[in-house]
Structure 1
Amino acid sequence: MKRWIVAVLCVTLAHAAFAAGPNQVRQRAEGSMLVTGWIDVSPDGSVHGYSLDQSDKIPAAVTDLIQKNVPDWKFKLDGNPNVIERARMSVRLVARRVDDTHDSIAIVGATFGDSNTASGQSVTHKSMQPPKYPLSAVQAHVDGTVYLYLRVGRQGQVEDAVAERVNLGVYGSDIQMRRYRDILADAALEAAKQWTFNIPTNGKHIDDPYWDVRVPVNFNLKVAGSPRVDTYGKWQVYIPGPQQSIPWLKSGLQTVPTSDAIPEGSISQVSQDLHLLTPLEGA
C-alpha cells in the first residue's frame, strides 16, 4: 500500500504553479500561505487600519490581494463600542490550479484574537502534551495538520473534542487518505483529552459555562534536531480534508470554515469580540 503514497516534498511554487502529477490529485492540491498581523476596527465596524508581520517576506501578489480586500471588511463588535478595537489577525490564502497555465489566489479564512491574551479575558494553555506520532503514519511518511475544535469546561479540562479538518502533506487514493486522516485525527484527539487550560479570570466571558476553542496540531516528519525552516511567506502544498460539523452545535450555529486560519502553536477562542461580516473572496 505504501507505494501509492507519494509525499509532497521540496516543492517550490513559482507564481503558484504546482508540480506535475495525476490530474485528479493536481486538481485537489492547494498551495497555502498563512499571513499574520494586526487589525484595527472602528466603532462602526469598518477597518481603521491593518499591518502585516514581516511584510518583506510576503509575495507582492499576496499583499496586493490583502490590500484589495481587507480595507473593505465590515465587522460586528461585541466589545467597547466607543473605542477602536485592536486585535491579532491571521489570514489563510490558497492558490489553486485553474488550468495547465493559470492559477488563482483567494482568501479563504481569517481569525481574530485578543490584543493581549495575558489580560485574562481569553482561554490560554496550561498543559498541552504533544500527541504521539502514530507509527503507521511514520512508516508511510505521512505528515499533516489536524485542526481540533474543543469545548473547555470551567475546570479547564476538555469536555468535548472533534477533528474539524485534517490537511495532509501526502496524496494517494481516497481510501488511503481517509485512513491517514483518521489516524492523525485519533492521535490528536487522544492527546487533547489530557490537556488543561487556563480559563478567563476577568472580562465578559468570565461566567460562561464553557468555552469553545480551536487548536491546530502539526505532525511533522522533519529529522529530530534539524534546524527549523522558516516557511513564513512561502507557499506550502497540501491536500485539504473535508470540513466536519461540530456534533454538539445546532445546525444553525455551525461555525464558518476558518479552522485552518490559525497559526501553529496558538489557541483561537471562538467567542471573540470581532466578528467578520464580509464574505471572504474564496468562500
Structure 2
Amino acid sequence: LITRFDEHGIREYVSPSSIGILGLEPEDLIGRSIFSGMAEDTEFLVRQATERLGSGPGHEKFLIRHVKPDGEEVWLETAMSRLPASHPAQAPRVVAITRDVSRHKRAQDELDLLANTDDLTRLANRRFFNARFEAMVTAANRSMTPLSLLMIDADRFKLFNDTYGHAAGDDCLRAIAQVVRSTVIRPGDVCARYGGEEVAVLLAATDAKAAHAIAESIRVGVEEIGLEHGRNPPSNRATISVGLATLTPGQDLVTTSQALFKRADEALYNAKAAGRNRVETAGS
C-alpha cells in the first residue's frame, strides 16, 4: 500500500491496495489525517515516528495493529520517507509504504512464547520474569502506583521428591502452576517459574492488602488439591509458603527490583520459619 501525505499529515494519494490491506477504499481515506480512527496507544506511537521523521534523517518505520471494518485484526509495518522538495517554496511531503506482516508477527509471537515459557509448568521462565520485573518497577515508580511481588515455594519439596519420585514431583509443580495461573488472570501480571520449586508473581497496581488476598487464594487452592505428602505435617498434603512484599512509590524506601525481591524473599523465609503453609507480608 502506497500513501502520500501533505505537510499536515493529510492523505493526498492512496493506492488501490488499501482495499485488501486496510479494508477501506482509497476514496474513504484521501483527505483524512494519518491519525484518523487510531486507538490512543497507536496514535502515540505514530506521532512519535512522525516527529522523528521531521527532525531526523527522513526515514522511519513502525509496526501497528489495525482492525478492519469487518473486525479482522492485522499487523501492519509502515516505512515512511520525506520526499525531496522540487523547489525551496514547496511544503514537505511524506510517502509511506505499508505491508501486512500478520503472518510473520504471529510466527514471531509463537517463537517468543516458546523462548519465554518454562517447559514443565507452562508459566513464564526466569529470563522473561527478570526483564518484566525491571520494566514493571520502572512503570510503578513513574506512575506512582504500587507493585506487589509474591515468592511462592513448595513446602518440603525435596522430601516429596525423595518419597514419591521426580515424576510425581513434576506433577506437583504443574498442579501448583495451574492454581497460580487460574488465580492470577489479569493480562498485565506475570507468573513465572523462578527456579526449582519456586514461583514468582508480579501484581501490577496492587497494594499489599489486595496482594495478600490473592496470595491466600493461591495457598488455599494448592492445599485443596489434596495431593498426598506424608512427610509434610501436620496436613500431610502438598502445601506452599508465600512471601509478599509491595513497592509503594512515595511511601517507603523500596524503589528498586533488588530491594523488593529481598523483602519478598525474607518474607518467604519467615513463612517457612513460622510453620509453612502460610502467607507472610514483609514488614508486618
Task: Compute the TM-score of the two structures, normalised by the length of structure 1.
Answer: 0.24
Task: Compute the TM-score of the two structures, normalised by the length of structure 2.
Answer: 0.23
Q: Which protein is richer in helix relative to its size?
A: 2
Bigger radius of gyration: 2
Bigger relative contact order, structure 1 or 2 (CA pairs below 8 A, ≥6 apart): 1
